[in-house]
Amino acid sequence: MKIEFKEYQLALNYPFKIADYTRTSTPLVFVHLSDEGIEGIGEASMPPYLGENIETAFAFLEKVKIDRFSSIEEILKVVDAIADGNNAVKAAVDIALHHWYCKKHNIPLYKYFQSDPANMPYTSFTLGIDTKEVLKEKIKDADPFHRIKIKLGSENDKEIINTIRSISNKEIVVDANRGWKNKEEAAAMIDWLASKNCLFVEQPMPVDQFEDMLWLKSRSALPLFADESCKRLKDIELVKDGFHGINIKLMNSTGLHEAQKMINKARELNLQLMIGCMSESSCGILAAAALAPQCDYADLDSPWMVSNNPFENPVLKDGKIELLD
Ligand code: MG
């Protein structure tokens, strides 16, 4: 198989602020795999705080040699063994491989994974933290979506929620992005959020405060989802007692193949599931959408948050991404 790759800067509509960090664009690498006249495309999205970048991705891809197509599993095993980490660029290869395989066999990706489109969850739409005046404008972008995602984890969390609640009654999902350091305060905040029609909280505390998460889970008024605490299959055993569910992202899981294994494992352990994303184009988002019907929640909003998606945006119907044959 021939492998080619190129870089792309995905420009955000609004500077993106989370608990400890702000940015205006996200570096991507697109991977093109071709063989037998068929081309598969994959994507790596690399927000700088995750440690990958264009240079590390290119250096990794120089080492990927696929002499001939054997099986997806076999190829990905070899790719994963090239080096530790590099999860996003591994995902790019994985997505391109699945794209190629499904095109060759003329089968939609969601059917390959035996996902039932009837079970597609709503996709939440992330509203960045801002002043009430700006939020009143921004909230119009959330019109086609049924759920709003809010990033908390700063001094004025209640003020942010109250501001949103003064302009919208939509269900809110909260991502604290490791921003709460004190378990009692986190528990009190979660009680309050539950009274404000919030559905769950993602990554309330830092990854290393696992003992606090055991306590918090035991008395939390809302389900708690692991994001930064659970990136790959091997992490699920470590977080299963501290969280009610996990957020799977292809850029963390090294792609679809391992994401499906994570879904199966999480179900075995009675964990809830959400599928999320980094700042990705439609390439990564449509790949994740193929697994979304197997999850309880979806957070696949990035194509609607960028100004230069090089592909068409996914089709959104009744707040859900439509899976096309
Ligand atoms: Mg998160």
Cα-to-centroid distance, 304 and ligand 1 (Å):
17
- Note whether 186 and 211 are within 8 A (CB): no
Q: What's the pLDDT tens digit per position in 6-28? A: 999 999 998 876 656 788 999 99
Q: What is the pLDDT of residue 136?
A: 83
Cα-to-centroid distance, 150 and ligand 1 (Å):
10
Q: What is the pLDDT of residue 14?
A: 85
Cα-to-centroid distance, 50 and ligand 1 (Å):
12
Measuring CA to CA, which residue among 79, 74, 84, 15 is closest to residue 42? 79
Cα-to-centroid distance, 175 and ligand 1 (Å):
5
Cα-to-centroid distance, 151 and ligand 1 (Å):
8
Q: What is the pLDDT of residue 174?
A: 97
Query: Angle 244-248-254 (CA atoms, 0-180°, nearest 5)?
Result: 145
Radius of gyration, CA atoms only, the chain: 19
Cα-to-centroid distance, 227 and ligand 1 (Å):
5
Cα-to-centroid distance, 51 and ligand 1 (Å):
16
Cα-to-centroid distance, 63 and ligand 1 (Å):
31
Cα-to-centroid distance, 251 and ligand 1 (Å):
12
- CB neighbours (10 Å) of residue 300? 28
pTM, two decimals, is 0.96
Q: What is the pLDDT of residue 185?
A: 96
Q: What is the pLDDT of residue 18?
A: 60
* Ligand 1 (single-atom ion) residues, CB below 5 Å: 175, 202, 227
Cα-to-centroid distance, 228 and ligand 1 (Å):
7
What are the residue ranges in the chain where pLDDT is below 50?
none
Cα-to-centroid distance, 103 and ligand 1 (Å):
32
Please compute, for residue 128, the number of CA atoms within 13 A of its CA located in the half-sphere on the CB side.
Answer: 19
